[in-house]
Amino acid sequence: AAIVAIAKNCSCLKKLDASNCKFTTLPRSIVPLMRRGLKVSIFNNPLQEPPEEIVQNGPDAIKRYFDELDRGLVISKQLKLVLIGDGGAGKTSLRNALARRENPKQTIDGRTILLDLERVKINEKLELNIFDFGGQREYLASQLPYIKGPDLYFLVVPADNATDEHFERLVERFFILLQARAPNAVLVPVLTKID
């Protein structure tokens, strides 16, 4: 806010370089100055408000974001959660647990084929859009279009098969895939079958 106050009082200011300042928030009050023609550079800041994806799209996207908030549009309360891992790792069991359902005993015929989608309301503030990927390698090519964006990925690993070597290979395989397809994704290993 102090930077905005300084910029407001310097009407001749044409450019404001706030790069590498560790700002997490860009104040809404900067928008009128941007409309006045002030060029704002905010590269290499861990921005959360507005989200970095908005900022990367430039000043018009930043203005639109704040305009939409002013008009009363709300930030989405939905989160895309992608369950990945080998076949039989417990991805569907985890999805059932998140949906607060008892997990039916899985048979080989009852496993996920390619992809199952489900929306699960966690509470009033959060709803998960769960993408439960079938874990057989032959499905991967068909699943690739769904691997994009800064989503949350749970890498599901059965505890009885989580040796250091197996775990490292699995994490490496999916980490490389996510780096190529969704570099801003969050990957969280989750151990299953510990009962």
pTM: 0.57
Q: Are residues 92 and 39 in the same domain?
A: no
Q: Are residues 108 and 128 in the same domain?
A: yes
Q: Are residues 89 and 63 in the same domain?
A: no
Domain boundary among 56, 71, 86: 71
pLDDT of residue 25: 84
Q: Encoding tokens for residue 14? A: 């044409």
Q: Are residues 37 and 5 in the same domain?
A: yes
Q: Are residues 43 and 6 in the same domain?
A: yes
Q: Encoding tokens for residue 140? A: 């991967």
Separation of alpha carbons 188 and 191, rounded Å:
10
Q: Are residues 137 and 55 in the same domain?
A: no
Separation of alpha carbons 114 and 65, rounded Å:
36
- For 150, the domain range is 78-192
Q: Tokens 């359902």 belong to which residue?
A: 101
Q: Are residues 83 and 67 in the same domain?
A: no
SS3 of residue 157 by DSSP: strand
Domain boundary among 45, 71, 97: 71
Q: Are residues 53 and 27 in the same domain?
A: yes
Domain count, the chain: 2
- Sign of the dihedral through C-alpha 88, 94, 95, 96: positive
What CATH number is attached to the domain comprising 86? 3.40.50.300
Query: Residues with Cβ < 8 Å from 79, sequence gap 6 or more?
Result: 126, 127, 128, 129, 151, 152
Distances (CA, A) of 28 to 13, 50, 65, 75: 18, 9, 10, 15
On whether the CB atoms of residues 65 and 41 are closer than 8 A, the answer is: no
pLDDT of residue 114: 59
Domain boundary among 38, 71, 104: 71
Separation of alpha carbons 21 and 34, rounded Å:
19
Q: Tokens 């599901």 belong to which residue?
A: 156
Separation of alpha carbons 2 and 87, rounded Å:
54
DSSP run (H or E) holding 40: strand 39-41
Per-residue pLDDT of the chain (195 residues; tens, 9 = 90+): 566 666 677 777 788 888 888 888 888 888 888 888 888 888 888 877 888 778 888 888 888 888 888 877 666 788 889 898 888 888 888 888 888 887 665 545 556 665 778 898 888 888 989 988 887 777 667 777 778 877 899 988 888 777 778 888 888 888 888 888 888 889 898 988 766
Q: Are residues 8 and 97 in the same domain?
A: no
Q: Are residues 178 and 86 in the same domain?
A: yes
Left (φ > 0), alpha (ψ -120 to 50) or beta: where does 133 sit? beta
Q: Are residues 98 and 39 in the same domain?
A: no
Q: Are residues 63 and 122 in the same domain?
A: no
